[in-house]
Structure 1
C-alpha cells in the first residue's frame, strides 16, 4: 500500500485532497438560494456561476485522475442558469469522488488531461487541489461564511501558485497575468491563505459590494 503524504510534501507523491474537498462541500451546502445571484471575487462569476464551475471541475479532475475521457466541453464553464435540482448534494458527491480518485496511486502515473491540457498526473493533482482551495475561499467570502482551509493544502497551493511567473508581454516586460488572474501584492508576513489568495489574483479583504 502506497503511503499518503500531506500536500506540502513532494509534489509527485499522493496528495490528500479530502480535507479541502470536504470543506468546499460544506461551503457549497451552506449557500442560500437568495445568495446565488450575488457577486464573487471572480468578476465574471456570480455565486451560481461559480457553483456550476465547481460541479464541472470536480467531474473533469476526477476523470483526469482515472485517465477517462470526459464527455462534453473540455473546460468546465460557469453558468449558473443550468444548476440542477439538488446541486448542494451533487457538489458533495462529486467532491467526494474527486478526493477518492486522487487517493489512488495510479492517478499519478504518466500523463493525463484536464481542461484540454495534458500534464503529469502529480501536477494535475496540484491544479485540482488549487482549484478546490481557492474556489472554496471565493464562495465562502461571497456568502459570508467562515473558511477553515486545510493548512497543508494552502501551503502546497501557495508553493504551486508562486512557481508561475507572469509571461513576458509584447514589449519584453512582465505581462499582468497569473495562474488565475493578475497577482495582487500581499506582504510576505501575511497569513498563508492571504498570500495564496493574492497569488491567484484576489484581494484578501474582498467583500461583496
Structure 2
C-alpha cells in the first residue's frame, strides 16, 4: 500500500458523534458484542492515543499497550479531551513519515502504512457503531469507505470470512448491490441493519 488517506474527516466526524452522545445513552448496547456505549467510547479514547503514538513513533515508557475497553476507565473529562486527541491523531497522520518504517500499536509491531490504515478503519467503523448505538445519522465519505474496504477486504478474504483476531469477527453476508458502507460494516462482522432498539 502506498496511499496516505487523510484521517481528518473521519476524526472530525467521530468528534461530532461523541458530542451527540447523551449521558443516559452510555449504558446502551452497541453493535460490538458485550460492549456498552461507554465501554466503546473508552476503547476509542485509548486507540486515539495508541495510533497517535504509532504515527509519531514516540511511545510513553517505550511501549504501546493495547487500548482498553472498560466503561469504568472512561476519563471524566472525555467530552473535552477526546476531540483534542482526535485532532492530534489526524494531524500526526498527515506527516508522510508516519506512513514509513515500522511502528507499534496495541502492543504489536507493524508497518506504519498498515497502522495508518488500521487507524482509519477504527475511526470509520467505530464511528458507525457509535452512531447506531446513539441513534445518530452516519455519513462517511466515499473515499474513506473505499480506503477501508481496500484494507479490510483482503484481510477478510485471507481469513476465509472467519474474521481477523483482535480486529473483527466473522463476516456477515449482504446483497451484492449493498451500499459500500454496508459492505464494509458486514466485512467487520457487524449486521448493517443493527439498531439500538432492535439490538
- State the distance in 2 between where 1:27 and 1:122 align: 26
State yes or no: 1:198 paired with 2:162.
no
Aligned to 1:119: 110
8 Å CA contact retained: 2:5, 2:147: no
8 Å CA contact retained: 1:60, 1:70: no
TM-score, normalization by structure 2: 0.92
How far off is 1:193 after superposition? 0.2
How far off is 1:14 after superposition? 2.5
What pairs up with 1:1-209 in 2 under 5 angstroms?
Answer: 11-71=1-61, 74-165=65-156, 174=160, 176-178=162-164, 179-208=167-196, 209=199
Change beyond 3 A, Cα 1:200–1:165: closer
- State the distance in 2 between where 1:156 and 1:167 align: 18
How far off is 1:199 after superposition? 0.3
- State the distance in 2 between where 1:53 and 1:30 align: 17
- State the distance in 1 between where 2:60 and 2:128 align: 27
How far off is 1:188 after superposition? 2.0
Query: Unpaired segments of 5 or more residues in structure 1?
Result: 1-10, 169-173
Asked which structure has the greater CA Rg, the reply is 1
What is the aligned length? Answer: 194
C-alpha RMSD of the superposition: 1.7
How far off is 1:15 after superposition? 2.0
Report SS of the residue matched to 1:118.
strand
- State the distance in 2 between where 1:50 and 1:14 align: 26
Report SS of the residue matched to 1:36.
helix
8 Å CA contact retained: 1:167, 1:177: no
**CA deviation string 1:2-29 (max 9, x = no partner):** xxxxxxxxx3232200000000110011
Query: Unpaired segments of 5 or more residues in structure 2?
Result: none
Report SS of the residue matched to 2:41.
helix
Change beyond 3 A, Cα 1:81–1:195: same
Change beyond 3 A, Cα 1:85–1:44: same
